[in-house]
Amino acid sequence: MRDPSPTPEETTEPYRWRWLILAVMIVAEIMDLLDASIVNVAGPDLERSLGAGSVGLQWVIGGYALTLGAGLVLGGRLGDRYGRRRMFLIGLAAFTAASLLCAVAPNIESLIAFRLLQGTAGAMLLPQGLGLLRENFSGPELTKVFAIFGPVLGLGGIIGPVLGGFLIEGDFFGLGWRSVFLINLPIGIAALIVAAKFVPRKAGDRTVRVDMTGAALIVASCALLVLPLNQGQENGWPLWTWLSMAASAIGFALFALQQRRTAAAGREPLVTPGLLRKPAFTVGLGGIA
């Protein structure tokens, strides 16, 4: 079978394997979103198996959300610079490997660390999907693709607790909670093989600069917010938790200011400052928060 990547002579024709690309994007990104909620029902099993307390359980869930959410914008920029196919494959391989590490974690501390790593990999993987679809579809087909892609991804958060409950209740091969991570292995490996073979290569734009200062600010601000929210109740809300949340608010304000200055200097910010002046955008962010 010939290399499925399109030749220069074929670039005016629709890519033959484009619908397979859509299937791979949906499978990989549902797997990514699924892991945000699939462990929500694993609490009792983790308590019995690893002796996890309430704070440990919160970090298993919230740690993944922290690194996933904080890294999404950076992941998108890395895809712009180094190529979305490359970042998709790196993110998918790292996510699958991190899922295996989570499944074999010997204690709650290592499970939390591997969940942080898994969320980071997911942040590299998730932003590439829409960009890859835009690269391979156009016109009415692109509208149809987004009509399929959006609702199907929305099912990820709904399916997670149901699938997690099924796997834990079934206790297949005596794996218990570990099966909620092991299920990612065959899916991730299959998606990786198909994506490596059928997603066409397209070079990134090396003129795109990655704003590492902005990325560091947003990661630090998110961590300063999530840390006291996870630890505060357990510790009786000591002074440091309130100081940490205040520092988080200052960090987000500094991030907004730094992004404006970056744009004013003619460089590329992580987030276009003009978005924050749109009422619909800011109201939507507030509602999500």
Spans of all domains in the chain: 8-198, 212-288
Range with lowest mean pLDDT among 63-67, 208-212, 280-284: 280-284
Ranking 87-101, 108-122, 226-240 by mean pLDDT, the lowest is 226-240
pTM of the model: 0.84
Asked if residue 221 has pLDDT above 80, the reply is: yes
Q: What length is written for the chain?
A: 289
Task: Retrieve residue 14's tokens.
Answer: 């629709």
Query: N- to C-terminal Cα distance for the chain?
Result: 50
Does the domain at 8-198 match CATH 1.10.240.10? Answer given as no
CA distance to 98, 220, 225, per residue, from 249 (Å)? 31, 11, 8
- Distance (Å) of CA 4 to CA 16, 122, 199, 225, 262: 8, 27, 8, 46, 40
- Determine the pLDDT at residue 10: 44
Using an 8 Å Cβ cutoff, are 88 and 135 in contact? no
Q: Say what the pLDDT of residue 4 is.
A: 54
Mean pLDDT of 255-280: 84
